[in-house]
């Protein structure tokens, strides 16, 4: 069972990356994001983070964004869940 | 569909011939579309033009003008202002004899309030800039330079700034930062839920959707025929 944030994050990645329905379902904690998906350039990352802010109702500081955050699906989800817990 | 030019007033008082894509058969329903801005203009172009094709099939004329400094325009983006763009849009409305207007994303900031029409997925100017500043901060960080948003804002407000490849003058930055989508009882917002699927402006790679173009065109065609 995925948590609500997990489901929403998969939906956001589907929308931003234009994934086929169900494709994000196959993501696990180890699935590589930044550096593995060529379409995820800096403009796309900026769009992804803005979309996460809007839909998860969180605020992401620019200095919180680093390579590790976007390295895997697991790290991005952990970040989103920690941010939600703060909100 | 034909490319046309239209006389566009510039901030300095001169006039430039700007390009517009038009389905113009001198029909009674005539929609002027104010395109999305900056990077989103590229990502929304295909959907916008596909919507125009469907409106044409439904018996409605539509025009998609370039604002000075955008798309095919020969004018530099640097030096354009919000007031200048609003004047350009009003001038296009009158040149093409539009009966209705449609703003797409950032274009909703520039739609005039003098005609009935629609705001598709309107966005605040500050949100457009926030995302562009974030992209710049990320790129700078990759090359080992730390920039903060407050530094970028003060840089932009004093001498202008280049964000995601776009040269924004201090006036355009400040104007955009304060701008909200046009409010008028004659303008109806079209939210993404109405169109279905996910908004194409957020796609990392430009994409298209026949279903979304169908839904957008249907909403507009029904409104114009009423």
* CB half-sphere exposure, B23, CA atoms < 13 A: 21
Give the chain A residue whose CA is nearest to the CA of B165: A43
Chain B CB within 8 Å of residue A24 CB = no
- What pLDDT score does B142 carry? 82
What contacts 24+ positions apart, CB below 8 Å, involve A14-22? Answer: A14/B198, A15/A51, A15/B198, A15/B199, A15/B202, A15/B203, A16/A44, A16/A47, A16/A48, A16/A51, A16/B202, A16/B203, A16/B204, A17/A44, A17/B203, A17/B204, A18/B203, A18/B204, A18/B205, A18/B207
A interface test, pick of B39, B44, B135 with most A CB neighbours within 10 Å: B135
Chain A CB within 8 Å of residue B143 CB = no
The angle that helices A73-86 and A42-56 make with each other, rounded to 10 degrees, is: 40
| CB spacing of B198 vs A46 below 8 angstroms | no
Number of structural domains in chain A: 1
Q: Is the pLDDT of residue B1 over 70?
A: yes
Chain A CB within 8 Å of residue B205 CB = yes
Q: Which domain holds residue A43?
A: 4-86
A27-84 tens-digit pLDDT: 999 999 888 887 788 888 899 999 999 899 999 988 888 778 889 999 999 999 999 9
Residues of B in contact with A65 (CB under 8 A): 134, 137-138, 141
Q: What value of ipTM does the predicted structure carry?
A: 0.84
* Closest CA relative to residue A1, chosen from A31, A25, A19, A17: A25
Which of A18, A40, A62 shows the shortest C-beta gap to B134? A62
Three-state DSSP state, B128: helix
Residues of A in contact with B202 (CB under 8 A): 15-16, 47, 51
Q: Is the dihedral of CA B118, B82, B132, B182 positive or negative?
A: negative
User: Averaged over B106-113, what is the pLDDT?
Assistant: 98
Chain A CB within 8 Å of residue B124 CB = no
- What pLDDT score does A1 carry? 59
Q: Which domains does chain B have, with CATH numbers?
A: 2-123+181-225 (3.40.50.1820), 124-180 (no CATH)
Contact residues, B window 22-61, toward A, CB-based 8 Å cutoff? 39
| CB spacing of B202 vs A65 below 8 angstroms | no
- What pLDDT score does A74 carry? 96
Query: Could you give phi then psi for residue B2, rounded to 5 degrees?
Result: -130, 140
Q: Residue B165: CB partners within 8 Å, gap ≥ 6? A: none
B225's tokens: 């025929």
Distance from A27 to chain B by nearest Cα, in Å?
18
Per cent of chain B over pLDDT 90 is 92
CATH code of A71's domain:
1.10.1200.10
Distance from C-alpha of B83 to C-alpha of B93, rounded to nearest angstrom: 15
| CB spacing of B204 vs A44 below 8 angstroms | yes
Which of A43, A50, A51 shows the shortest C-beta gap to B164? A43
B143-190 tens-digit pLDDT: 889 999 999 999 999 999 999 999 999 999 999 999 999 999 999 999
| CB spacing of B130 vs A50 below 8 angstroms | yes
Chain B CB within 8 Å of residue A44 CB = yes
- What pLDDT score does A37 carry? 80
């Amino acid at each position: 069972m995925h948590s609500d944030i997990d489901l929403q994050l998969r939906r956001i990645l589907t929308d931003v990356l234009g994934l086929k329905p169900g494709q994000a379902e196959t993501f696990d904690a180890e699935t590589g994001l930044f550096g593995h998906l060529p379409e995820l350039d800096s403009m796309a990352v900026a769009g992804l983070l803005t979309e996460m802010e809007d839909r998860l109702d969180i605020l992401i500081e620019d200095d919180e964004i680093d390579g590790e955050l976007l390295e895997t699906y697991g790290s991005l989800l952990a970040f989103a869940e920690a941010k939600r817990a703060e909100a | 569909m034909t490319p046309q030019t239209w006389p566009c007033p510039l901030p300095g008082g001169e006039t430039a011939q700007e390009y517009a894509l038009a389905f113009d058969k001198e029909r009674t329903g005539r929609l002027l579309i104010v395109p999305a801005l900056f990077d989103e203009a590229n990502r929304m172009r295909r959907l916008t033009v596909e919507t125009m094709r469907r409106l044409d099939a439904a018996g409605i004329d539509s025009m998609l003008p370039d604002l000075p400094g955008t798309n095919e325009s020969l004018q530099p983006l640097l030096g354009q202002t919000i007031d200048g763009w609003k004047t350009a849009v009003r001038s296009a409305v009158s040149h093409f004899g539009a009966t209705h207007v449609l703003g797409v994303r950032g274009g909703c900031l520039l739609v005039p309030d003098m005609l009935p029409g629609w705001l598709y997925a309107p966005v605040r100017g500050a949100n457009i800039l926030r995302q562009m500043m974030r992209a710049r901060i990320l790129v700078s960080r990759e090359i080992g330079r730390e920039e903060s948003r407050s530094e970028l804002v003060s840089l932009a407000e004093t001498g202008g700034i280049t964000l995601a490849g776009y040269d924004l003058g201090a006036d355009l930055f400040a104007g955009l930062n304060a701008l909200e989508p046009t409010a008028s009882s004659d303008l109806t917002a079209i939210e993404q839920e109405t169109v279905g699927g996910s908004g194409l402006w957020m796609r990392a790679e430009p994409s298209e959707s026949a279903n979304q173009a169908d839904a957008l065109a249907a909403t507009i065609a029904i409104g114009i025929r009423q």
